[in-house]
């Protein structure tokens, strides 16, 4: 007897969001998605796994009704415990909201906030041949990255992610405690425009839940989606160089640091022919044995080789330390998806950032050499990163978006990285002392407008900036991140989150 085949019936997810409580086998996975230093420290009562904006509205409404403190996660790569804070009772997880599409009504590309940068790059490039200039790490979530401004390898040539943000969909909570959805655009006549502006650098976890972004280049015209965002080159010239610490005395170190600063000063104006060259000079602790330069030239023809030769020659001039260079030309998408995978990163990280409007001062260089070579510290995984900045980023006025740092040439990143929690205290002490001494002339922090400093990058949040022990400048953390834009952000906060539902240690305070 032959049985008739059973017709296939797809199993659809339930109509509402999924509430994952502590007794659910999925709970451990959902609460261990953060960076390793804070992974598992949060113990929310439950996690909402959402798939639509309506789901987010429902999840936010329930948390507000019950008086629960909530936090939102997209990629899970925050460098502080804004989501993994033990006081957070409810987490809204956006990782299932990953759709990338073209919206004819907005003439823009709609991207859900749970998509990763890797998904964004792949979809935009393979379907339309375009991209959004954004971060180097493909595993980072779009949700938190764009709100902080969004910086990456193509930004010197094309500007920040936020410079291409046309609209944002936000779930907010009004004064009556009602969760609602709104779309805010950059159109001059949009009465919600200030909410759009706050999402161009105001930082995550401040105004509501960003569920969807629409991207379109600010100068784009017409309706052809292939011309509404930058088109990346067919190929990229990746390069990697190393300087051996053996023989790297203080004079050679100072020369290398000065060369990177000098080159950046000369080639970081808008329209520079070197704007398609992006690099990161990682000056590691001497115990690590070497310092490393990683970079990319986003040019598909022979001029890329000439750029690389000129740059490396300028960087190595007078250094005299053993030196090697490797290079590889790759298709653009292949090169882009090769970025570091933070999801697989085992390191407990503490980064501290600063924008620099010029090369390092002699005092900053001496502080860097001291802390990278000091024999009284066991820290191996410590570094100073000097990242090229500027270019088209500096073509935008400081108040046109919430990303206020618009005249820098370098981004300095002080970093400690380790794996054993037992070593937390030693590594935190080392990087904090290094950062404080590096900015000793300005109270231990990069005070905007003081010397070569221009504040810090909100996507590398650092709670030490709000601690008088480490910030003795008299300049509040909010000025370090937002400069003169903070008062305007406070006004947006008061309008769109009057009950202060969305908050954390470095949260924007209502006016």
Rounded to an integer, what distance in angstroms lies between the CA atom of residue 309 and that of residue 176?
62
Residue 249: C-alpha distances to residues 246, 288, 324, 325, 437 (Å): 8, 15, 18, 21, 20
- Tokens 């108040």 sit on residue: 399
SS3 3: coil
Catalytic hit among 121, 369, 387, 457: 387
**What is the structure's pLDDT at 342?**
60
Provide the pLDDT for residue 12. Answer: 60
User: Taking the CA of residue 467 as centre, how many other CA atoms within 13 Å lie in the half-sphere pointing to its CB?
Assistant: 9
Could you tell me which of 162, 214, 184 has the C-alpha nearest to residue 397?
162
- Tens of pLDDT, residue by residue over 150-195, are 999 999 999 999 999 999 999 999 999 999 999 999 999 999 999 9
Tell me the HSE value of 27 on the side-chain side, using a 13 A CA sphere: 13
Which secondary structure element, helix H or strand E, spans residue 480, and what is its range? helix 477-482
Which 8-state DSSP code applies to residue 243? E
Find out whether 79 and 462 touch, Cβ atoms under 8 Å. Answer: yes
pLDDT (mean) for 80-101: 97
Judged against a pLDDT cut of 80, whether residue 11 lies above it is answered with no
Contact 391, 272 (CB under 8 A): yes
Give the list of residues 6+ apart from residue 15 with CB closer than 8 angstroms, or none. none
Query: Read out DSSP for 401-412?
Result: SS----S-SEEE
Residue 297, classed as helix, strand or coil, is strand
What is the rounded average pLDDT of the residues 429-436?
A: 98
Res 37 pLDDT > 70: yes
- Helices first, then strands: H and E counts in the chain: 13, 16
pLDDT given at position 341:
66
Task: Write down the residue that tokens 């007897």 correspond to.
Answer: 1
Contact call for residues 452 and 408 (beta carbons, < 8 A): no
The reported pLDDT for the residue numbered 345 is 72
Tell me: pLDDT of 3 over 90.
no
| Range name among 11-20, 180-189, 286-295, 470-479 with the lowest pLDDT average | 11-20
Query: What is the distance in angstroms between the CA of the first residue and the CA of the last residue of the chain?
Result: 77
Q: Is 481 known to be catalytic?
A: no
Model pLDDT for residues 486-505, shown as the tens digit of each residue = 999 999 999 999 999 999 99
3-class SS at 319?
coil
Q: How many CA atoms lie within 13 A of 65 on its CB side?
A: 8
pLDDT of residue 343: 63
Question: What pLDDT, on the 0 to 100 scale, is given for residue 452?
Answer: 97
- State phi, psi for 73 to the nearest 5 degrees: -130, 135
Find, among 426, 346, 336, 422, the residue nearest to 378 by Cα: 426
Pairing of strands 277-284, 382-388: antiparallel
Residue 2, pLDDT score: 53
The predicted pLDDT at position 496 comes to 98
* Structure-block tokens of residue 188: 């001059």
**Is pLDDT at 4 greater than 60 in this prediction?**
no
> Residue 116: CB partners within 8 Å, gap ≥ 6?
75, 98, 138, 139, 140, 141, 142
Share of the chain above pLDDT 70, in %: 96
> Alpha carbon 429 to chain centroid distance?
24
- Continuous segment of H or E residues that includes residue 479: helix 477-482
The pLDDT of residue 51 = 97
Q: Which two tokens stand for residue 364?
A: 């900053």
CA–CA gap between residue 102 and residue 217 (Å, rounded): 14
Q: Look up 121 and say whether it is catalytic.
A: no
Buried b (16+ CB within 10 A) or exposed e, 1-27: eeeeeeeeeeeeeeeebbebeeeeeeb
Residue 31, CA atoms < 13 Å, CB-side half-sphere: 24
Q: What per-residue confidence (pLDDT) applies to 34?
A: 85
Q: What 3-state DSSP class applies to 83? A: coil
Over residues 454-486, the pLDDT tens digits come to: 999 999 999 999 999 999 999 999 999 999 999
Q: How many CA atoms lie within 13 A of 173 on its CB side?
A: 25
Joined together, the tokens standing for residue 345 give 């990163």
- Work out whether strand 209-215 and strand 179-185 pair parallel, antiparallel, or are unpaired: unpaired
The 10s digit of each residue's pLDDT in 207-257 is 999 999 999 999 999 999 999 999 999 999 999 999 999 989 999 999 999
Report yes or no: 269 and 394 within 8 Å, Cβ to Cβ.
yes
Average pLDDT over all residues of the chain: 95
| Pairwise CA distance, residues 213 & 334, whole Å | 25
What pTM was computed for the model? 0.95
> Could you say which of 213, 355, 460, 482 is catalytic?
460
Residue-level pLDDT at 247: 83
Q: Backbone phi, then psi, for 66, in 5-degree steps?
A: -90, 0
Distances in whole angstroms, Cα of residue 324 to Cα of each of 282, 305, 327, 330, 374 = 15, 16, 10, 20, 25
pLDDT of 14: 59
Helix (H, G, I), strand (E, B) or coil at 21: strand
pLDDT in tens, 298-346: 998 999 999 999 999 999 999 988 888 999 999 999 999 987 766 667 8
């Amino acid at each position: 007897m032959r049985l008739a085949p059973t017709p296939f019936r797809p199993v659809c997810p339930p109509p509402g969001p999924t509430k994952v409580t502590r007794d659910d086998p999925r709970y451990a996975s959902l609460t261990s998605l953060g960076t390793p230093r804070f992974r598992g420290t949060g113990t929310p009562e439950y996690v909402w796994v959402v798939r639509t904006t309506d789901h987010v509205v429902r999840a936010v409404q329930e948390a507000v009704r019950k008086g629960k403190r909530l936090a939102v996660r997209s990629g899970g790569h925050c460098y502080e415990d804004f989501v993994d804070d033990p006081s957070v009772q409810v987490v809204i997880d956006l990782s299932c909201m990953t759709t990338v599409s073209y919206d004819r009504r907005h003439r823009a590309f709609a991207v859900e906030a749970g998509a990763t940068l890797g998904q964004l790059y792949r979809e935009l490039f393979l379907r339309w041949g375009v991209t959004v200039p954004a971060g180097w790490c493909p595993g980072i979530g779009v949700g938190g990255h764009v709100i902080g401004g969004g910086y990456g390898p193509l930004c010197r040539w094309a500007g920040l992610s936020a410079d291409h943000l046309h609209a944002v969909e936000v779930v907010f909570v009004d004064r009556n405690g009602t969760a609602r959805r709104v779309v805010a655009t950059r159109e001059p006549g949009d009465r919600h425009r200030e909410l759009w502006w706050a999402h161009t650098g105001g930082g995550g976890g401040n105004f509501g839940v960003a569920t969807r972004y629409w991207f379109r280049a600010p100068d784009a015209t017409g309706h052809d989606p292939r011309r509404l965002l930058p088109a990346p080159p067919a190929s990229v010239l990746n390069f990697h160089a190393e300087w051996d610490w053996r023989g790297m005395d203080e004079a050679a170190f100072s020369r290398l640091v000065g060369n990177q600063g000098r080159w950046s000063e000369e080639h970081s104006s808008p329209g520079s022919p070197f704007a398609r060259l992006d690099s990161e000079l990682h000056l590691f602790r001497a115990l690590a044995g070497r310092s490393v330069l990683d970079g990319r030239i986003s040019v598909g023809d022979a001029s890329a080789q000439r750029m690389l030769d000129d740059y490396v020659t300028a960087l190595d001039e007078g250094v005299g330390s053993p030196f090697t260079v490797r290079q590889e030309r790759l298709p653009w998408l292949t090169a882009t998806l090769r970025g570091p995978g933070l999801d697989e990163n085992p390191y407990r990280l503490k980064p501290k950032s600063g924008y620099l409007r010029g090369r390092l001062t002699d005092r900053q260089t001496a502080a860097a050499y001291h802390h990278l070579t000091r024999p009284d510290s066991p820290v191996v995984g410590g570094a100073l990163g000097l990242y090229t900045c500027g270019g088209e980023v500096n073509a935008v006025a400081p108040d046109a978006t919430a990303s206020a740092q618009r005249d820098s040439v370098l981004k300095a990143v002080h970093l400690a990285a380790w794996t054993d929690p037992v070593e937390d205290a030693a590594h935190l002490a080392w990087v904090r002392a290094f950062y404080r001494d590096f900015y000793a002339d300005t109270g231990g922090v990069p005070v905007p407008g003081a010397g070569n400093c221009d504040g810090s990058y909100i996507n590398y949040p650092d709670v030490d900036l709000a601690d008088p022990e480490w910030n003795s400048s008299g300049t509040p953390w909010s000025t370090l991140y937002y400069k003169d834009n903070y008062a305007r952000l406070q006004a947006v906060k008061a309008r769109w989150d009057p009950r202060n539902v969305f908050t954390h240690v470095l949260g924007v305070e209502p006016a």
